[in-house]
């Protein structure tokens, strides 16, 4: 069994202080074989702002460069730890527009990442407008739907679950089972994930559709990391005959 955690944050996210090396070493110690670093697009942007402040220069329009620098750093770490763990270079994409507008800017290029995790698909103020197929095309890299109750979302848009999952599979869009349980989420598990991991009927729909899943702990503080939650979710999914995304790498 190859355990994958495709959702982890580092100090590139505004809501985590963890050094990327520490995040990776904690995952290695926890027996994780594939780890995806997925800092928030807007967190990377804030890191850029503090750097500009420090340097006394104005690079406020330099969004693209910041994404590239983050990618390059994770890429160096991928190489450094290659004999111990497989690191994937990901990004978590905010899509909600509001008072604090963190949504991915229209022209920001994220196509060079290994994958992205899209949040807010089911929110009324999301720039996805509930259309993950069009948005995945805009992202240009393998796309996953982060911490979303997809069965509830599918029902809310009047679609049929199997048909919708089948379409996701055809577009190579995966669905994240988020198994977080830490202080940044109030030590509350996601109900949809808890349900899916015990609901054979839902598992069967997903299996037959051919859609792939990811498992993510969504770590924001490594001292609260619980790799056993990743391992047990990966095991349930594999035993249900469902494929994980990025299997076999």
Q: Residues in the site for Zn ion, rule: CB under 5 A?
A: 92, 218
In terms of CB distance, is 92 or 114 closer to Zn ion?
92
In terms of CB distance, is 217 or 246 closer to Zn ion?
217
Tell me how far, at minimum, the Cβ of 15 lies from Zn ion, in Å.
9
Query: b vs e for 150-177, b when ≥16 Cβ sit within 10 Å of the residue's Cβ?
Result: bbebbeeeeeebeebbbebbeeebbbbb
In terms of CB distance, is 26 or 209 closer to Zn ion?
26
In terms of CB distance, is 92 or 182 closer to Zn ion?
92
Tell me how far, at minimum, the Cβ of 194 lies from Zn ion, in Å.
18
Tell me how far, at minimum, the Cβ of 249 lies from Zn ion, in Å.
22
Q: What is the 3-state secondary structure (H, E, C) of the chain?
A: CCCEEEEECCCCCCCCCCCHHHHHHHHHHCCCCEEEEEEEHHHHHHHHHHHHHHHCCCCCCCHHHHHHHHHHHHHHHHHHCCCCCEEEEEEEECCECCCCCCCCCCCCCCCCCCEEEECCCCCCCECCCCCHHHHHHHHCCEEEECCCCHHHHHHHCCCCHHHHHHHHHHCCEEEEEECCCCHHHCCCCCHHHHHHCCCHHHHHHHHHHCCCEEEECCECCHHHCCHHHHHHHHHHHHHCCCCECCCCC
Are 196 and 205 spatial neighbours (Cβ–Cβ below 8 Å)?
no
Residue nearest to Zn ion (CB): 218
For the chain, what's the residue count? 249
Q: 22: which 2 tokens?
A: 């520490």
In terms of CB distance, is 5 or 92 closer to Zn ion?
92
In terms of CB distance, is 147 or 212 closer to Zn ion?
147
Tell me how far, at minimum, the Cβ of 26 lies from Zn ion, in Å.
16
Tell me how far, at minimum, the Cβ of 172 lies from Zn ion, in Å.
21
Tell me how far, at minimum, the Cβ of 19 lies from Zn ion, in Å.
17
In terms of CB distance, is 5 or 218 closer to Zn ion?
218
Tell me how far, at minimum, the Cβ of 59 lies from Zn ion, in Å.
25
């Amino acid at each position: 069994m190859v355990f994958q955690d495709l959702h982890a944050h580092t100090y590139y996210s505004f809501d985590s202080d963890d050094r990327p090396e520490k995040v990776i070493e904690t995952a290695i110690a926890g027996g994780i074989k594939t780890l995806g670093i997925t800092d928030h697009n807007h967190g990377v942007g804030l890191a850029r702002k503090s750097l500009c402040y420090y340097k006394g220069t104005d690079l406020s329009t330099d969004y693209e460069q910041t994404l590239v620098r983050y990618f390059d750093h994770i890429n160096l770490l991928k190489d450094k730890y290659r004999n111990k763990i497989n690191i994937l270079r990901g990004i978590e994409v905010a899509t909600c527009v509001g008072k604090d507008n963190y949504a991915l800017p229209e022209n920001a290029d994220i196509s060079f990442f290994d994958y992205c995790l899209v949040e807010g698909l089911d929110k009324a103020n999301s720039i996805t407008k509930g259309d993950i197929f069009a948005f995945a095309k805009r992202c240009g890299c393998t796309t996953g739907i982060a911490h979303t109750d997809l069965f509830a979302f599918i029902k809310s848009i009047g679609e049929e679950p199997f048909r919708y999952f089948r379409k996701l599979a055809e577009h190579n869009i995966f669905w994240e089972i988020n198994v977080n349980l830490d202080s940044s989420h109030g030590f509350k598990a996601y109900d949809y994930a808890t349900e899916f991991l015990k609901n054979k009927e839902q598992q069967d729909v997903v299996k037959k559709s051919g859609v792939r899943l990811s498992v993510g702990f969504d770590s924001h503080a490594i001292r609260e990391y619980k790799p056993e939650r990743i391992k047990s979710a990966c095991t349930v999914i594999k035993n249900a005959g469902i494929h994980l995304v990025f299997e076999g790498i």
